[in-house]
A and B are shown apart, each in its own frame.
Chain A
Amino acid sequence: MEILKPAMAGTLESSDAQVTVEPGNGKIELSLESSVMNQYGRQIRQTVLETLDRLGVTSANVTMVDKGALDCTIKARVECAVMRSCGKSEASIPWGGMIK
């Protein structure tokens, strides 16, 4: 999926994460800030990258400010931001396909 415009999903509230995606230049750049960076930084990063990979995103600047979100929340926020950024959130979200 191609990131067409910047988009955001999620909030900065506790147990949530705020994800911003912007068009990139050929690769995934992830800037991560987390309140549990030392404990789960690597796990969070991996979850974000896996989700992007599943969505077929290969070029994006991703900023994530995590406030202790669970993996399922992180996935959902990343998916939502990506769908918004390519204009799919209004009509054609691939439920059961890329979004599992």
Chain B
Amino acid sequence: MSYSLETISPLDRRSNAQMDELLKAEGIRRDGHLDYSCGLFDDDGKLVATGSSYGNTLRCLAVSSSHRGEGLMNQVVSHLSERLLNNGYFHQFLYTKEKNYRIFADLGFYEIARIEGQLVFMENRKGGFERFLSSLGDVKKDSACIVMNANPFTLGHRYLIKKAASENSFVHLFLLSEEAGPIPFAVRKKLVLEGIKDLENVIFHESGPYMISSATFPSYFLADEDTAINAHAILDLKIFSKIASHLDIHSRYAGSEKTSHVTGLYNSVMASELPKYGIRFVEVERLSKEGETVSASTVRQAIHDDKLPEVINMLPESTARFFQSSEAESVIRAIKAMKDPRHY
């Protein structure tokens, strides 16, 4: 029997139906976000193996149970990883059910974290995660951690950081390095660094691919079902617990969340999961200015509506200066082009 490897276009209803059926038979949830799918078809046009990708992650990998042991997954993964590499993704990730861990370990993927009885999160770099940990620098005693998107950096972020910095000897501040919103990472980083210049016990890090990235937490960036968000959040925190134990972090701070659904859910998962790893979760009531809660989404909305002066009291001097300068033109244009600047 020979198989042919073909791309499965989103428009190809017949192949997509076969893919759905195969995934369902193998007990795999079809991911809501796939930017590429392929499959191996037998001589009769029947789908016997499938795999997909989104960004730098391989997803929805399955081989029909009647075709095990023929090395079909090898073909699918070869094809996907070559394609991802050609698209510039050298560092690749995947999740698999715990029982299929061995298959992917034999294909050059290495474990980052696992949730017992459920899934294993893997990367194609040997020791990639360990290298990330050692790149974080010195371990400091009595330290807390904040992970933020700062999209853009407001007085609310500063309030949270300052509070953590006053209650702990050190604060590890991780800024999401994924390009997701209208404000580029380089700009977010610049505004954060300027905004925390005077806080000496804050240590700045880039989050890299291991914290709230589209690999660990895809539903943070793209709407998905609550069950998926929960599962992603649990995995993300599992990885975080490893980072925390490396850096000796005992607390994680976050602002309370009322508007963003996914962040709210993430906070509640943090409240229940972090204590399991011996990490205290501190949810800080958000800063208010003249009765209105300070939030980056409100600021984005105001910029979108051309009403920056209305939110200027929510911004530190450095952020305000940036948005009034000519440097910000392209960023402002990007925010204005958004249909729903509040989202996420």
Q: Which of A14-22, A50-58, A88-96 contacts B (4 or more CB under 8 A)?
A: A14-22
What DSSP secondary structure best describes chain B's contact surface? loop
Q: In the complex, are the beta carbons of A11 and B124 less than 8 A apart?
A: no
CB-CB nearest in chain B for A67: B74
Interface segment, B77-85, B251-259, B267-275?
Answer: B77-85
Q: Are A65 and B71 neighbours in the complex by a CB distance under 8 Å?
A: no
* A37–B88 alpha-carbon span in the complex (Å): 30
A31 at the interface (CB under 8 A from B): yes
Q: A63, B124: Cβ atoms under 8 Å?
A: yes
* B interface bracket (residues with beta carbon within 8 Å of A): 10 to 19
Contact assessment for A8 and B82 in the assembled complex, using a CB-CB cutoff below 8 Å: yes
Chain B hits for A71, CB < 8 A: none
Closest to B86 in A: A8
Q: A35 near B: Cβ within 8 Å?
A: yes
Pair B107/A12 contact, Cβ less than 8 Å: yes
**Given that A6-B85, A20-B85, A33-B108 are contacting pairs, would A12 and B90 also be in contact in the complex, using a CB cutoff of 8 Å?**
no
CA of A7 to CA of B81, assembled, Å:
11
User: Complex formed: what's the CA distance from A18 to B74 in Å?
Assistant: 11
Q: B106 contacts the other chain (Cβ, under 8 Å)? A: yes
Partner of B126, one of A13, A18, A35, A63: A63
Interface size class of A (residues with CB under 8 A): 10 to 19
Q: Is A14 within 8 A of B74, CB to CB?
A: yes
**Chain B 74-101 interface residues, beta-carbon cutoff 8 Å to A:** 74-75, 77-78, 81-82, 85, 90
Query: Closest residue of chain B to A6, judged by CB?
Result: B90
Q: Which residues of A contact B75 (CB under 8 A)?
A: 11-13
For the complex, give the distance between the alpha carbons of A7 and B90 in Å.
9
Contact B108 A12 (CB under 8 A): yes
Q: How many A-B residue pairs have CB under 8 A?
A: 42
Q: Which residues of A contact B90 (CB under 8 A)?
A: 6, 20, 22
Assess the B85–A11 pair: CB atoms within 8 A. no
Given contacts A22-B90, A33-B108, contact A8 B71 (CB under 8 A): no
Shortest Cβ distance from residue B289 to the other chain A in the assembled complex, whole angstroms: 47
Q: In the complex the two chains form, is A13's CB within 8 Å of B78's CB?
A: yes
Partner of A12, one of B78, B85, B125, B126: B78
Interface centre among A7, A12, A67, by most B CB within 10 Å?
Answer: A12
Chain B 54-89 interface 0/1 with A at a Cβ cutoff of 8 Å (1 = within): 000000000000000001001101100110010000
- CB of B40, distance to nearest CB on chain A (Å): 12
With A6-B85, A18-B108, A35-B106 in contact, is A12–B124 under 8 Å at CB?
no
Interface set, chain A 23-62, CB cutoff 8 A to B: 31, 33, 35
A-B residue pairs, 6 tightest by C-beta: A65-B108, A11-B78, A12-B74, A12-B78, A31-B126, A6-B90
User: Can you name 26 A-B residue pairings with CB atoms under 8 Å?
Assistant: A6-B85, A6-B90, A8-B81, A8-B82, A8-B85, A11-B75, A11-B78, A11-B82, A12-B74, A12-B75, A12-B77, A13-B71, A13-B74, A13-B78, A18-B78, A18-B81, A18-B108, A20-B85, A20-B90, A31-B125, A33-B106, A33-B108, A35-B106, A63-B108, A63-B124, A65-B107
